[in-house]
Chain A
Amino acid sequence: MDAIRTENLTRSFDGRKAVDRLTLEVPRGIVFGFLGPNGSGKTTTIRLLLGLLDADEGRAEVLGFDTRAKADEVRKRSGALLEFNGLYERLSAADNLDYYGRIWHMSKAERDSRIKQLLTPLELYDRRTEPIGRWSRGMKQKLAVARTLMHQPELVFLDEPTAGLDPVASAALREDLERLAMQEGVSIFLTTHNLAEAEKLCAQVGVISRGQLLAVGSPEELRSRTSAPRLYITGRFAPQTLEQMKSNPLIQKIEQHNSRLVLDLNDMQRSHEIVTQLVQSGAQIDEVRKEKADLEDVFLNLVDEDKRGEA
């Protein structure tokens, strides 16, 4: 049974489709990244999956329960860190977790031990009695992640968990998420527009734009499906070099960023021919690096294509 299964899930607001015929299957036990630009329908999708909003059309099943008829069963088995962390700033960290433990009918002993288990690796246990109002955003976000895991849910929804954090805090939270996902063995549905985050954490990703699912698969699959192999060449190039290279049939696209050329190739096996051509044209090459396009390129391409299609 999949963790999430949707069929033509659609929801509109004032005639505008926020989620448009979304059909998706998310297997259990993986971190699934739901990527999309702002306003693409990610948060609405989570709200629909949690049964907080009703779909106009289509249906969704989460952990085998219909989100319309059995929303309470879905929420009973899930944890959610939504757009805002939802923490009570006048309460201490321990009380915030304790409240959610009580909501899920955990005994006092279970709550205490779980609070210790979750907060210790996040280095928050020693500060558990402090009201969290003056904590940094990163600390609060870590606490919010711990709160979603408090009752050991089968599925966790994380809506842009690192949004608004500085790079150091983001990286720290990503590490914590990765460790917690492994340790807890939960399925995670993570929305983000941080592609490095998705690449690092997610076994599968889906790309959504204007409410429509554009692509779904592992980051590797998406890269190979939607982008050409790429060659990064650093060095000094004569002005006419770029023009000469453009006529080479091996090259799909060429861009120059200061001293770096980025070339999308049709055939990576013949990349040596490109290097030879460059050397013959008088280029002084410092470094050549072969790589497939990263997830960011894939994402940007997909969203661009979607926008062009719409235009």
Chain B
Amino acid sequence: MIADIFTVAWKELREMLVQGDPRGRSRLSLLLLVVIFGVVIPLQNGRDWTDSPISVIIWGWMPFLWVSGIVADSFAGERERHTLESLLATRLSDRAILMGKFLAALLYGCVLTWIILLVSLITVNVTSSGGGLLLFPLPLAAGAVIFSILISGLAASIGVLVSLRAGSVRQAQQLMSIGMLVLFLPFMFLQFIPVELRRSMVNFLSNTDPIQIAILAAVGLIILDGILTVIGMSLFQRSKLILD
């Protein structure tokens, strides 16, 4: 089962990154991401980069965007390119196929985040270190690693679910965009919350240890990822996929 999951993930990543893009567009867009988030933005922030709030946003939300961009293709792309039925006719179990696609998206989001994290550190150390070694504070570094996994996992599980049901890659991408909007909706509605309530929320957050908040958020994400994965497994039915 584990070997099968890695086999499916191997193919997904190979298709995404290694081959078949004669003009190298996918590799170029990856390079662009690394340059923007690993070089340009850290250069603008200079020495503050390692403890800047911007870096928290990048490590927290960017994996979601990166994974959303590719995960829509997982099942909808196979369906659109007529490769799904052949895959379903192999010895692979339903779980191996589903988890393999999930793992590929997760790895893509995490590894890209970690590469950018590393490149950004190199950038600020080369340009603004002033002699000493600049590093992310340990809680921030640990948070970046853990949240890149959880947020990539969230995007991967939503994306796989959407891709399972979507008729085409375009439709899956549109649904993913709507999904992202839904995730951001609570933040948009913050301004409509009564001032008193907002104030008490801010008080609560500022009086609570940030690490505790991070742990709570991580637990919430783990539960959400788990629920979405279980839903994905229950929706994955060979006969239904064939007839779709």
* Interface residues in chain A, defined as those with a beta carbon under 8 Å from any beta carbon in chain B: 13, 47, 50-54, 72, 75-76, 78, 80-92, 95, 99-100, 102-105, 131, 133, 157
Contact = CB atoms under 8 A, between A and B. Distances in A.
Contact of A99 (B11, B20, B82, B85): B11
Q: Is the interface of B mostly helix, strand, loop or mixed?
A: helix
Interface string B58-92: 00000000000000000000000111111111111
B86 A89 contact: no
A53 B89 CA distance: 11
10 contacts: A53-B242, A82-B86, A82-B89, A83-B82, A84-B86, A85-B82, A85-B86, A88-B11, A90-B20, A103-B7
Q: Which of B4, B10, B11, B21 has the most CB of A within 10 A?
A: B11
A157 B83 CA distance: 16
Given A52-B242, A54-B239, A91-B20, A75 B85 contact: no
Contacts of B93: 72
A149 to B, nearest CB: 13
Interface of B: 3-4, 7, 10-11, 14-15, 19-22, 81-93, 238-239, 242-243
A1 to B, nearest CB: 20
B242 A90 contact: no
Contacts of B81: 88-89
B14 A100 contact: no
Contact of A131 (B20, B85, B88, B90): B20
A90 B19 contact: yes
A105 B81 CA distance: 25
B86 A76 contact: no
Q: Which of B21, B88, B90, B238 has the most CB of A within 10 A?
A: B90
Q: Which of B22, B87, B88, B89 has the most CB of A within 10 A?
A: B89
Given A86-B83, A89-B81, A99-B7, A80 B89 contact: yes
A87 B238 CA distance: 19
A47 B14 CA distance: 29
